[in-house]
Structure 1
Amino acid sequence: MLSVVIFNIFNSGLSHMALGVQWASLIPAAFLMASVPGANQILSLRNGLRKGAKIAIIAVTGRFTAFALMVIAVSLGLNAILQTSTLVFNIIKWVGVMYLGWLGIKTILSSSKEYEDEQLKGSDSQGDSLSAWHYAKQEFMVAAANPKALLLFTVFLPQFITSGTGEVGGQILVVGAVYIFIEFICATVYATVGGQLKTIGLSGRVKKNLDRITGGIMIVLAAWLSTEKSE
């Protein structure tokens, strides 16, 4: 009986928070934002190409851990801190720019060895398990230090919340959770495409070139992110 009462209270509060969200605008906008080939989506594509869709999909847990922490931080007032402290935003931005640029360069330089090792070793389940966590860490770092992600949660998503209709912090949590779910759908598509490219019998040379292209895109994205401003 008590569990029913608690559930009804929770459900009532969640419904109240959801009433202040402009869902008709948020859902298509979120799908558009999540489907654009940004830094993390390109990383999922590369991971799928290198290690297959399964590992690439497991790796996105790193991204969504970072996103979840961002959403919680924004609900507690991180957006106000970033709006008043350009220094904090710039530190996060340049860490992200340097890491993404380094990752792009590393991808290009290691592309040849990656596919030589793949041919020599074949499939190694233990290595795949370790790789999944390794790539999850990369996903976390790229997401956590991505100024676009910060702006997404601090500036973009709050625009779909109607002021004066409920607890803003709670509404940000609801909107953030919905966006993360939508991003997961899109990330799965990118990882699956990469995995399909890995399994359709492309030559090692073609795979190397695709890997180098994704590395080059990361470097371009790092240069683009360097131009982002907090306002």
Structure 2
Amino acid sequence: MRGAELGPFLGGAFLVLAAPGPSVLFAVTRTLKWGLGAGLLTVIGLEVGLCIHVLGAAFGLSALVSSSPVVLQLIRFAGAGYLVLLAVRGLRDAAAVAPESHSPPRSHTRWELLRAAFVVDVLNPKTVLFFLAFLPQFVRAGHGNPIAQFLFLGTCTVVIACVCDSLWVLLTAATRTLRARHRDGPPALSRRLARISSAAYVGIAVLTITG
């Protein structure tokens, strides 16, 4: 890809990925509930899921999936159902954990945090459509292997997404720390975060279905 074409691609990808969508809201929610460490682990899981979309776009799977409305609907509802499940688990874990605890409960190990974020991103139909509608505009015949071009653009997308998601997580973590210090005591904050997080999961699920 020529430099003159790479600039518009990077700029467009940044504008799309920086805007809060289901993945960003999921990372923000986890950070709000459990802090910076959980948020950064969520970002890693999201970007690993994004790598799956990159490979799918490069080898034609995105086009195959997007050509079938039924498959897209199944992905959409599967993703929403998974988020609702996380909401239910969040309320259950909040009742089982001491209110002054700000760390993830034992059921949410590092692997669990990574896996949940990975599943959320893989089951995000908007990501499939992003790679189908946006990336092909910058793949040029005669500029090398199309698969290699897709992989390069996809890698750039993952890097941009990682930066944007991490910035959202860092901002949320800073806000959470200030709120805990100056406004709420630990017990009240923990109970409030549990309710907010579960409601956010349901909201993201609704956004996934209706968006």
Q: TM-score range by the shorter chain?
A: 0.7 to 0.9
Aligned to 1:15: none
Residue 187 of structure 1: which of 140, 165, 175 is its match?
165
Corresponding residue number in structure 1 for 2:100: 119
Unaligned runs of 5+ in 1: 1-17
Return structure 1 stretches of 4+ with deviation > 4 angstroms.
Answer: none
How far the C-alpha of 1:54 sits from its partner, in A, is 2.4
Task: Assess, with a 3 A threshold, how the Cα gap between structure 1 residues 83 and 59 changes in structure 2: closer, same or farther.
Answer: closer
Which amino acid in the other structure matches residue 44 of structure 2? T
Matched with 1:141 is: 119
Asked if structure 2 preserves the Cα contact closer than 8 Å seen for 1:105 and 1:219, the reply is no
Report the alpha carbon displacement of residue 133 of structure 1 after superposing the two structures with TM: 2.0
Q: Is the 8 A contact 1:52 1:198 kept in 2?
A: yes
Q: Deviations over 1:59-107 (max 9, x none)?
A: 3222122111221121111133124333322222221121123324544
2:98 maps to amino acid: D
CA distance in 2, matches of 1:74, 1:209: 40
The alignment covers a number of residue pairs equal to 206
Residue type of the alignment partner of 1:155:
A
Residue number in structure 1 paired with 2:195: 212
Q: What residue is the counterpart of 2:134 in the other structure? A: 156
Alignment of 1:1-231 (within 5 A): 18-19=1-2, 22-107=5-90, 109-110=91-92, 112-113=94-95, 117=98, 119=100, 131-200=109-178, 201=181, 202-203=184-185, 204-206=187-189, 208-227=191-210
Q: Computing the radius of gyration over CA atoms, which structure comes out larger, 1 or 2?
A: 1
Matched-pair contact (CA < 8 Å) for 1:67–1:180:
yes
In the superposition, the TM-score normalised over structure 2's length comes to 0.81
Give yes or no for contact 1:21–1:162 (8 Å, CA) kept in 2. Answer: no
TM-score normalised by L of structure 1: 0.75
Inter-CA distance 21–101: structure 2 relative to 1 (3 Å threshold): farther
Work out whether residues 66 and 128 of structure 2, in 8 Å CA contact, stay in contact via their aligned partners in 1. Answer: no
8 Å Cα contact 2:35-2:103 kept in structure 1: no
Cα 1:196–1:82 change in 2 (3 A) is: same
Percentage of matched positions with identical amino acids: 24
